[in-house]
Chain A
């Protein structure tokens, strides 16, 4: 069972993500990054599958050159190989172009399963996995909160607004995992040491035959302007001096809720 996991390197959760008003893009340079926690769950799920059924996990990431550090983290968790798609020509890619780049890299090899997080923790668009599944021609098994592999069949519990559905498809499939699906493992010291020797292949846009199809020029989403939404009027903030609950009750009474 060969599995590719799409994993994004995102600004760490303690960082307030900013947008550059000139390029209208998320500022990624000089910002501390981490392996997207949502992607770490996808890696974990892939590792559990190969531990039970054999095979190996390859981590695919598109991003700036320093995304390689976060590929190493996934390798330290137990993934076998990494693929980094990095090129200035990719900057400003929209969800379609991102899916095309990932698809081009993934198609160069034979994968039975591709796993993505439902959405990345920085931009939350959630459109790349479905687009990727269609480009690859893999059956989409989305919003999985549980994954089981049975022979050449994959069965998931698909999160729904009212509970979950049990959904199955035959290989090859693309699975998207929800954030709570598992608790990603911490890399062991041995894993961290071993990750340094594991192979990471790098592709540029031209290597993947993507010239003219990616980057800002090819983006169908044209951002006209970017700004801050109207700020909420400053509220009244008080420090609890033993009467905080009473003060909230007073406020609720003013609103005629009490």
Chain B
């Protein structure tokens, strides 16, 4: 059985769903362990065990919360040298990218990122990687005799409880002063409204076709009526119309709602990469050649300023009836 380690990270005092997604996958492929460093909720060990971790390498020292990248990379380096797992799997998120890229240099091993599927085949691990905003897909292997370093995309795998319990292996905190060079001095939370994008069943998103920030209100109104939440393209986030927390796409959130309504969004690959997995996609755009229509189950070629208000009125009417 191959040994597959996963890195568990915590956000707002909860294990991220990405941590549980990659752990579930690891447990399907072999003997799974999780690395859990820094502060974590009380039930983290239980949750990780329940998602397939047989062992949890744990160090609760505050150094990992106070100092980014270097202490965690040091612990990972030493544990990997000691136990030589076949694969070290991260999620493609901020922490995962920082740590995997650091280890890539430290072990001179490189890394595979944006993995969308992972299979054990004839003793090697074959990754399917959506490339260029998922307009292509590669199959690739990490051709390296040591521990293979990979990062998996959010939502590539489904997190599933399997009902196990994990053995906890306490790991000593690193103490080398050179590891504390990157220091967190403050944290500022910016709350997004409504259900979180990753969990929403219905998402209404707006793009540059809305022409100005105040028109985003109709996207919110539509989301409220449908019990959904709002998303946005990178273009309007960069323009400052809405906060980054709403960004759907390669550099924002990856979402898989039941229904995704794209309003005034052309469908740049960067955006498609984040929402292509939606079950049903509805698009409204003035340009009949916009790439979004190739990915839509239902599309209306028309003016968002006419179609969306009419849709809002129609939903209100039907709800009254």
Hey, which bits of chain A sit against chain B, CB under 8 A? 13, 16-17, 19, 24, 26, 94-97, 99, 118-119, 121-135, 139-143, 145, 155, 157-170, 178-180, 219-229, 232-240, 242-249, 251-253, 255, 257-258
Contacts and interface: CB of A to CB of B under 8 A. Distances in A.
Nearest to A243: B310
B143 A220 contact: yes
B259 interface: yes
Contacts of A139: 70, 181-182
Given A164-B188, A247-B300, A229 B183 contact: no
B97 A130 contact: yes
A245 B303 contact: no
A125 B11 contact: no
B301 A169 contact: no
Interface string B7-43: 0000110001000000000000000000000000000
Contacts of B140: 221-224
A127 B97 contact: yes
A48 B44 CA distance: 43
B158 to A, nearest CB: 18
B265 to A, nearest CB: 15
Contacts, number: 275
Contacts of A130: 69, 97-98, 100-102, 104-105
Interface centre among B114, B131, B186 (most CB of A within 10 A): B131
Nearest to A127: B101
B188 A166 contact: yes
24 contacts: A95-B104, A124-B250, A130-B104, A132-B105, A134-B104, A142-B98, A143-B94, A145-B244, A161-B11, A163-B187, A165-B184, A223-B138, A224-B141, A226-B131, A226-B138, A229-B134, A232-B276, A236-B299, A237-B288, A239-B301, A244-B300, A244-B311, A248-B311, A258-B318
B302 interface: yes
A40 B185 CA distance: 29
Interface residues on B, range: 35 or more
Nearest to B148: A220
A118 B98 CA distance: 11
B294 interface: yes
Contacts of B113: 95, 125-127
Contacts of B288: 237, 239
Nearest to A139: B181
A99 to B, nearest CB: 7
Nearest to A37: B238
Contacts of B189: 162-163
A19 B136 contact: yes
Contacts of B318: 249, 253, 258
Contacts of B162: none
Interface string B110-131: 1111100000000000100011
A255 B201 CA distance: 13
Contact of A244 (B93, B126, B238, B284): B284
